[in-house]
Amino acid sequence: MPIKTWADGNFRKYTKEIKREFSITPRGDVHISNKYGQVDIRTWEKNRVKVTVEIAVNAENESAAQKVFNRIDVKFKSDNTEVSAETVIEDTRNKWWDWSSGQLDYAINYQVYMPASANLSLDNKYGEVYVSSVSGDVDLSLKYVNFIIDALSGSSTSSLGNSHGSIGSVNNMNLAIKSGSISIGEANNMEIGSKSATVNIGKAKLIVSNTSYDNYTIGTIVELHNDGKFDNFEIGDAEDIFMESSYSNVIFQDINKYLILDLDNCNASINKLSTSFKEAKLIGNNTDFQMVLEPGIMYQLDAFADYAKVEYPKQMSVTYEEEESTTYAVKGVQGGKSGNAPFVKVRLKYGSLKMTY
């Protein structure tokens, strides 16, 4: 294969191109494994997979560049149902070139065309990734990668390490992310395990998450289940929230149905508990809750506090109240009769609850 050159100061850019094309069934499997470069996945209507790999080397001369080309290979495998391309780089330890010398650098860039309905498995390290809309199942493993993905309408699994990027929409996704960030426009169902990550989701139906040291922003969501610690959560409009967390800050703009919180050493702000809510249950240890009630709301309060403070609106009709040296219990109803209004149940040890309009 011919080698092309471009001058760049004392270095020249030498490139080598590899092209392969294979037939595949519409629901076949495509596997791409690369490192040190870009992977561009595009879809077309053909039942074929086209792979173009460009290896680009910056070197002082062609002889030095050729040594790098000799170390890099792309292994292809194919049959009618599966196509794979894998970058293989010969180990340079104890050989002619010391990585620390800084005399050479290279990139391995893929462009792949595949049917949108095919299944994609993509592994890339140290580079960039673009994936257009894919309706087949997708398995992503990205480390130290910047990525843009248009849409994943099938089932997908994503493992992200020190990577940053965006996905327009996902259907069913299992996401593991560590020390990175992701923005998702719209999600149907997601399971997320995250650590030291930033996650932004515009709109979601169901999210089940296990989090630590994370920052989450969710615009609207139907149902969230979260088990976390040392997090920051900000959620806009939510139907149902089920959260158990410690050492976290959580903000909910609007709760429409269920709010179940079990918090330890946290701060929680509920900026509007809607008139349509069904149940709110607040369990807190050394936690401060602030709750704003929508005007016209009907509720029954059942609160017990140990070394904690409870403040409720003066409009509430108190039906039971008892205060002892370290504990305080209060029950009441607002805007309805006992028995037909939804409950706000509160159990506090240290901390506080402040309910206002």
Rounded distance, CA 252 to CA 249, Å?
10
How far apart CA 303 and CA 208 sit, in angstroms, is 28
117 φ/ψ angles, rounded to the nearest 5 degrees: -85, -10
Whole-Å CA distances, 106 to 58, 75, 126: 6, 18, 12
Residue 19: pLDDT over 60: yes
Mean pLDDT across the chain: 94
Q: Give mean pLDDT, residues 273-288.
A: 99
For tokens 């209507």, the residue is 45
When pLDDT is cut at 50, 70 and 90, the band that residue 9 belongs to is low
Q: Among residues of the chain, what percentage have pLDDT more than 70?
A: 93
Which is more confidently placed, 283 or 337? 283
Mean pLDDT of 78-85: 97
> Is the Cβ–Cβ distance between 260 and 289 less than 8 Å?
no
Q: Residues 123-141: pLDDT tens digits?
A: 999 999 999 999 999 999 9
Higher pLDDT, 163 or 98: 163
Burial 79-89 (b: 16+ CB within 10 A, else e): eeebbbbebee
Predicted confidence at residue 338, as pLDDT, reads 61
One-letter amino acid identity for 116?
A: A
Q: What is the pLDDT of residues 185-201, one digit of tens each?
A: 999 999 999 999 999 99
Q: State residue 8's pLDDT score.
A: 55
Averaged pLDDT for residues 95-106: 53
Average pLDDT over residues 18-39: 98
Question: Given its phi and psi angles, is residue 144 left (phi above 0), alpha (psi -120 to 50 degrees) or beta?
Answer: left
Is 118 within 8 Å of 137 (Cβ atoms)? no
pLDDT of residue 302: 98
**Does the pLDDT at position 184 exceed 90?**
yes
Question: For 97-123, what is the mean pLDDT?
Answer: 82
- pLDDT for residue 7: 54
Q: Encode pLDDT of 216-232 as tens digits.
A: 999 999 999 999 999 99
Tell me, what's the pLDDT at 91? Answer: 81
Stretch 89-110: mean pLDDT: 67
Domain spans in the chain, listed from the N-terminal domain onward: 1-120, 248-357
Rounded to an integer, the average pLDDT of 299-322 is: 97
Residue 4: pLDDT band (50, 70, 90) is low
Q: Model confidence at 335, in pLDDT bands (50, 70, 90)?
A: confident
Residue 76 pLDDT more than 60? yes
In eight-state DSSP terms, residue 2 is -
- Compute, in degrees rounded to 10, the torsion defined by CA atoms 199, 202, 203, 208: 10
Q: What is the pLDDT of residue 94?
A: 47
pLDDT at 340: 84
